[in-house]
Amino acid sequence: MRLFLGVSSHHVWTWLLVLLMGSNNAMSTPEEHQTYIIHMDNSHKPASFSTHESWHRSTLASLSPYHSLSDKEMLLYSYNHVMHGFSARLTPSQLSELEKLPAHRATYRESFGKLFTTHTTKFLGLKRNSGIWPTASFGKDVIIGIIDTGVWPESASFSDRGMSPVPERWKGECENGTAFSPSLCNKKLIGARSFSKGLQAAGIKISEDLDYDSARDFYGHGTHTASTAAGNYVLGAGHFGYATGTARGIAPGAHVAMYKVLWATDSETSAATDVLAGMDQAITDGVDIMSLSLGFDQTPYFDDIIAIASLSAIEKGIFVVCAAGNDGPGWNSTYNGAPWIMTVGAGTVDRNFVATMTLGNGLTIEGTSYFPQGIYITNALLYYGKGNTSKEICDFSALDPREVAGKVVLCDNSTSIDVHTQMYEVERAGAKAGIFLIDKPTLDPEDYSIPSLVLQTGSSDSVREYAMTVKNATVKEMRFLLTKLGTKPAPQVAYFSSRGPDPVSPGVLKPDILAPGEDVLAAVAPNRPYMETGIYDLVTDYALYSGTSMAAPHAAGVAALLRAVHRDWSPGAIRSAIMTTAITIDSTYMTFIDQWTGLPATPLDFGAGHINPNKAMDPGLIYDIDLQDYIQFLCGLGYNDRQMSAVLRRREWDCKEGPTNLNYPSFVAIFTKATNSPTVKNFTRVVTNVGGDTAVYQAVLEVPTGMRIRIEPNTLTFTGKDQKQWFDLSVEIDTEAPDVIYGYLRWVDQHNHIVSSPVVAIKT
């Protein structure tokens, strides 16, 4: 499993966890125990057992005693909602015996591995006196469950100042544990639990030096995501002087419940059984929104524990949001792509953190910097290699301290030398500061261990020319701690954000949506140094993080606001409202740019567009989806009965005749390049009027050359609220059309509703 904090797979934070499916697949000897998740058929439970857990314990006790463990030692968790079943330590012989029972439905082997946020509310158009914030009472009475690394309860973001009482329907609690007392919870943080039985069953200890055996957050990731979704107002928050202002979550009036399922250990591992247990408990406790900034490796849905558990949550009306992953910019890299999950990609915001540099010739240049100390560097010599002819001067051990001490070192050609290595080398050699010319953005705020300025290679020619041609070149001044707003274009698709087509179901557009995910300021755990600068270890309680981990809680917060306004909306209705009202052009009125390539992006990168909370409150029409729609979708995948049963958690279902395409708010037509293959794809959709009592919608098509979209009928007339209307859409492409081509269907009415859906064609 992966926790989607940080950047792409090209630069992964070494202290994060990532669960990798199937990493412990060696066959056990009969004497050894391994942990398994056992999916049971609930209809086989004898009436004599009052609870599922008592039945599960009895089942384990009935197995042949090839072991020294009691049923209490064998059983880790009994699951009631995400599936009917349990996780237990079993020998292969016991597993074989159990799998022969009529009640057995499926087995999942335990998986291990490593872990894979002030301005964003304004960027999203949220205002205190108008729009969705006041209408939703800022998310009042909505409960957001965060499945993550825990929480730092003392953070000002979790103050219950101004909060409404805990909802009476809430069934959760705050558990006692290491450095965590139930008294730390309040009307904001209403629940905190931890789950580690699966980890400990594997013989992996929770190190006191690396984590807390409780719901307390060690890494800060869970604190960051929770405060992003629903943090209270905090004045004067900032990242070492950058991004200063009032921090608040997207739904500051909502309640938070933390479910700690991810741990730091000597082996830096976490167990899938624990993740499943956290999701199961969240459903039991009564959360309204579930947010997961993590994911398992891409597998079919019948093997995907998060997909199975999320479908159970959706059945109970819980909206599930997941991060899309940080494996961009490559294609087919999305995680958590089940169509019942809202899959969120990461976008940039219109804010940069910069330093300015004035050279000896008077030229002033601006570059990126997060260096935390508000200092000036003045009248320093500029060093650019011996004789000013060497380009790759900052490789490991390449700098002579006698030559560079007290100077500003210019490091060039970072496309061939890792920029982290260069920064370390400049620091090692005793330079006063560094200027790094890089081709792609690959540094995080904590990487700036010395006064540094980063320039994209495309805008650095003047610096290079000055350094090469002027003897005794100097830097007259370097100035840090500048936050620049209004940067254009924004948003862009963050370079690390995972892209479609989805590797499991390419016919469903993923990610669904884009939300702020780069340089997001939110609360963190101040229990350890955030970064080192020289001899100083720096600690902070608010920090800038990047990743789809940060994007997902933005969407979770928006979902909480929508739930507060529309209590009767289904999870499908909430997702539709978010997708069909999304922004599809950037601040320069152009198509979103891919941050990695600098070229226009496509819906395979940004889904339906960038999230737009105020518009989502009144979408006009919705594409609703119920459980039977998902069943029809699964029927169309060709799963056998056992696989269908694993996903649906039941013995019987109805695969009705007719189309199996989902009533999704986006369209994906997949064509093969083979000769004589079909060149037309047909879709059927139904929309529900949630706007005024009467409305007439006209279809407006945006179609590129090489693609044809037909709609029937092209006018939808509604005479009442909640009335439904059907329409058919067909997509046709020319043989010479590019491999990815897309347009838009927009339903427009007289009340200024614009219901937008991307229509994407992919040639494979």
Residue 305: left (phi > 0), alpha (psi -120 to 50), or beta?
A: alpha
What is the distance between the alpha carbons of residues 582 and 722, in angstroms, rounded to a whole number? 22
What is the distance between the alpha carbons of residues 326 and 323, in angstroms, rounded to a whole number? 9
State which amino acid sits at residue 38.
I
For residue 676, which phi and psi values (nearest 5 degrees)? 65, 15
What is the distance between the alpha carbons of residues 233 and 584, in angstroms, rounded to a whole number? 30
What is the distance between the alpha carbons of residues 268 and 252, in angstroms, rounded to a whole number? 33
33 is an active site residue: no
What is the distance between the alpha carbons of residues 413 and 395, in angstroms, rounded to a whole number? 10
The partner residues of 247 in beta bridges, in order of sequence, read: 234
The answer to whether the beta carbons of residues 667 and 709 sit under 8 Å apart is no
221 is an active site residue: yes
What is the DSSP code string of 52-87?
Answer: HHHHHHHHHHTS---SS--HHHHEEEEESSS-SEEE
The answer to whether the beta carbons of residues 730 and 680 sit under 8 Å apart is yes
Please name the residue ranges forming H helices in 62-196: 71-74, 92-99, 120-123, 132-135
Helices and strands (DSSP H and E) totals, the chain:
18, 37
Q: Per the residue annotation, which of 148, 327, 618, 624 is the catalytic one?
A: 148
Q: Per the residue annotation, which of 221, 255, 554, 610 is the catalytic one?
A: 221
Per-residue CA distances from 142 to 138, 449, 558 (Å): 9, 41, 11
666 is an active site residue: no
Sheet harboring 143-148: ordered strands across? 189-194, 255-260, 143-148, 289-292, 319-323, 342-347, 513-516
The answer to whether the beta carbons of residues 160 and 232 sit under 8 Å apart is yes
Angle value at C-alpha 115, between 114 and 121, nearest 5 degrees: 170
For residue 73, which phi and psi values (nearest 5 degrees)? -75, -30
Q: Which residues are catalytic?
A: 148, 221, 549
